[in-house]
Structure 1
Amino acid sequence: MFCLFFGVSVHAQYETNITYGLKFGGLRSTISSLPETIKGRDNTVDNSVMESKGAYGLEGGFFLNFKLHDTRVAIQPEILFRQAGEKVTYRDAVGKEFELGLHYSYLQIGALYKVYPYEGLNLGAGAFYGISLSPNNVSYTSNEAGGMYDVATRQFYKDGLDGADDFSVCFAAGYELHQSIHFDLRYYLGVKDVVKSNASSFQFIENQNKSGVICFSLGYSFHQW
């Protein structure tokens, strides 16, 4: 009887330390040095302006939260789907304008180390690896000849620029309510090149195009195991 009671107590204690749930949110992403990559050899000689505008997307998925017993820390592994990328605009002295968008999707796998300094308030840091799911999802619109050449130009960028896997470090701040609802604000700092140019066929310049993502999400923790 004592062994049964002890086993149930340990199991119940284990249950209270592990939660799982879903999270979903919106984000704004950027990719560094993209205008310099695209303008290539003409970057310093043509009379034009190309600017990064950033892009908006979604992020969501599944998480586990392992709270370490008798501590205020937790390990939180996650599997997430993310839409991110960049948008750039171009205009020159003769009136040509276009907008180019890189619309990438990733399967994000990683984990956070979280500290709870006060009740549900938490601060975290971790790392995530993003597997590229749509390396050639490109949009292109222009005012050149009423958009007559947009399809061919879009294919030019699809063939010349390849989206690559991403790896980023993550910094997070959040709050978990007693009703199992939690809020989360994160910044992902990319540390590797996420755009590969096919320099043998096109005159793009190979740069270190790194991602930057800020995300706000809402999550829900289900009952413990």
Structure 2
Amino acid sequence: MVTISATPQTGYSFLQWNGGGLTNPFESTTTIKITEDANISAEFVIQYYSLSVGAEFGGDAKGSGSFRHGSVVSISATAAQGYQFEYWEIDGESYSIYPFTTIDIKSDLNISAVFSIKPLSSNLEVTSLIALDWYDSSWFGVFFQSDNGWVYHLEFGWIFPIINQSENLWFWSQKLGWIWAGEETYSEQYLWSEAFQNWISWENNDLDSIRYFDFLNDQWVDWER
């Protein structure tokens, strides 16, 4: 009995031996009984690997699939409204800071797109730091920026802003739900209410409370901060 072995090159895997007299043709190392001249060949196949592309929150990531060893695969990350792309991550390590990039396939991989909330402080037009974590916007007023995205606004109390453009934003308040504020209309003290599906006008003559005029129902509404 003669022992024979087959070693695949990188990116390939052993499939089987072709020929007669083999003890086990599906083992890369096996034996063969020699009783006459024999031609034995090893058969290899290229390996395919799984690429899993995803994101926990804040956006969408694409590019998952099964690919041949050595493939160069394009992956993409798109931030949801109010979020921004930070980087790609593989096994806890940063891979790339570009939302559209490529990755070499040499093994099974799990890659995640990491997004973060767009901070109001760095995305509103003409905003200046006036104290630790306190900012003054040229049109949206004074607010405190927390690390988790929540903002304490001097007029509206705690709000959760979603901003895509520096001159307008959506924010959520426990009292009135989602509110849209734009630079031009805000200066006239007008806000758009998603719940009312109408404009509301706000006034803050009393520092302890603000009230809003609901044009749809023709009444004043108290905003409790």
- Length-normalised TM-score, structure 2: 0.22
Q: Which has the higher helix share?
A: 1
Greater Rg by CA? 2
